[in-house]
Amino acid sequence: MNELLFTVDMEPDWGIAGTRGVEQALPRLLGLLEERRIAATFFVTGRLVESCRDMLLEIGPQHEIASHGYNHRRLNRVPREEVHDELQRSRSILAELGREVEGVRAPFFATSQGWLEEVADAGYKYDASAGCVRPSLMNRRWPAPAHGLGRLGVSVLRDGITPFCLTYLRLYHPLGLHIMPRAAPGCPVMLYLHLHEFLPPETAACLKAPLRWMLTRNCGEAAWDILRRALDRLDGEWITCSQYLHTE
Q: What is the pLDDT of residue 208?
A: 81
pLDDT on residue 93 = 97
Q: Please give the average per-residue pLDDT across 118-135, as a whole number.
A: 97
Question: How far, in Å, CA of 89 to CA of 85, rounded?
Answer: 6
Tell me the percentage of the chain whose pLDDT exceeds 90: 85
The answer on pLDDT for 155 being more than 90 is yes
Strand 40-44 relative to strand 3-10, pairing: parallel
What is the distance of C-alpha 57 from the center of its chain? Answer: 18
Element (H, E) at 9: strand 3-10
**Is the preceding omega at residue 174 within 30 degrees of 0, hence cis?**
yes
State yes or no: pLDDT of 16 exceeds 70: no
Share of the chain above pLDDT 70, in %: 99
Contact 111, 133 (CB under 8 A): no
Q: Which pLDDT score is estimated for 211?
A: 81
Q: What is the 3-state secondary structure (H, E, C) of 81-117?
A: HHHHHHHHHHHHHHHCCCCCCCEECCHHHCCCCCHHH
Question: Helices (H) and strands (E) in the chain — how many of each?
Answer: 10, 8
Q: How many CB atoms lie within 10 A of CB 174?
A: 10
Give the list of residues 6+ apart from residue 134 with CB closer than 8 angstroms, or none: 163
Q: What is the CATH number of the domain that holds 218?
A: 3.20.20.370
Signed CA dihedral, 45, 161, 76, 14: sign only: negative
pLDDT(236) > 70:
yes
CB-based burial, 61-91: b 16+ in 10 Å, e otherwise: eebbbbbbbbbbbebeeeeeeebbbbbbbbb
pLDDT the model gives residue 166: 98
Contact 48, 22 (CB under 8 A): yes
- Give the count of beta carbons closer than 10 Å to the beta carbon of residue 230: 17
Residue 15's pLDDT is what? 64
Structural domain range at position 143 = 3-247
Q: Would you say 131 and 138 are in contact if contact means Cβ atoms under 8 Å apart?
A: yes
Cβ-based neighbours of 38, under 8 Å, separated by 6 or more: 6, 32, 231, 238
> How many structural domains are present in the chain?
1
In tens, the pLDDT along 162-203 reads 999 999 999 999 999 999 998 777 789 999 999 999 999 888
Q: Which residues pair with 3 in a beta bridge?
A: 237
